[in-house]
Amino acid sequence: MGENKSLLIKDAMTYGFIMGIFWVVKYLFFIFSGSASILNYVYILLTLAVPFFAYHLTKKYKEEIGGEISFFHAWRFGTMIYFFAALIVSLEHFVFYQFIAPPNFLPNVINQAIDTLKNTNVNTEVIESVSNMNFSPIHMAIQGIFNNIFYGIVLSIPVAALLCRNNASGAITQKSQEE
C-alpha cells in the first residue's frame, strides 16, 4: 500500500491539534499548581499520559488508512503529531512567560538551575554559559517547541514499534479475518 502524503500531513495536523489542545489543558494545571499542589500531581499524571495518547492517535490513524502502515510511516506520523501539538501549546507558553509569570520567574529558574549544577559538580564552563544566557518569553516558547519535537522523535519510536510488534516485515497490518 502506497503512502498518501497529503493524508499523512492532513491527519497529523488534525491529530496534532487535538494533542495540542490536550497539552494546553495540561499546561493550565502547571500554571495553577502554585495555588494548589494537587494540580501539580494532575499535571505530572497528564504528562505521563502523553505517550499513551500519542499511541492511541497513531493507532486511530493506522485504522483510518486501512490498517496497514510501515514502521517509518508510523514514526513519522507520531513525530508530526508532536510537532503540530508543540506549535499549538507554544502560544500558551509565550502568554504564560510574557503576561502571567512573575517578572522574576525566569531569573529564579535560571538561578535554581545554576545552584543545581554547582551542587552536582558540573564543569564551571557549563555553569558560566548557563549563567550568561538571557531567556525571554519568545526564547522559552521556541525552546519548548524544540523540546517537544525532540520528545516526539524519541517517544514515537516505541509507539511505532508497539504498533508493528506482530509483523516481522516491519509493516503494521491487521490480521485478515477471511480464513
Name the pLDDT band for 57 (thresholds 50, 70, 90): very high
Nine cell digits for residue 137: 518569553
Residue 43: pLDDT band (50, 70, 90) is very high
Task: Characterize the bridge pairing of strands 69-70 and 171-172.
Answer: antiparallel
Q: What is the pLDDT of residues 104-157, one digit of tens each?
A: 888 888 888 888 888 888 888 888 888 888 888 999 999 999 999 999 999 999
- How far apart CA 118 and CA 128 sit, in angstroms, is 10
| Confidence tier at 177 by pLDDT (50, 70, 90) | very low
Question: Would you kindly state where each structural domain of the chain is located, as residue ranges?
Answer: 5-101+137-172
- For 90-109, write each residue's pLDDT tens digit: 999 999 999 999 888 888 88
Q: Do the beta carbons of residue 57 and residue 15 sit within 8 Å?
A: yes
- Average predicted confidence (pLDDT) for the chain: 88
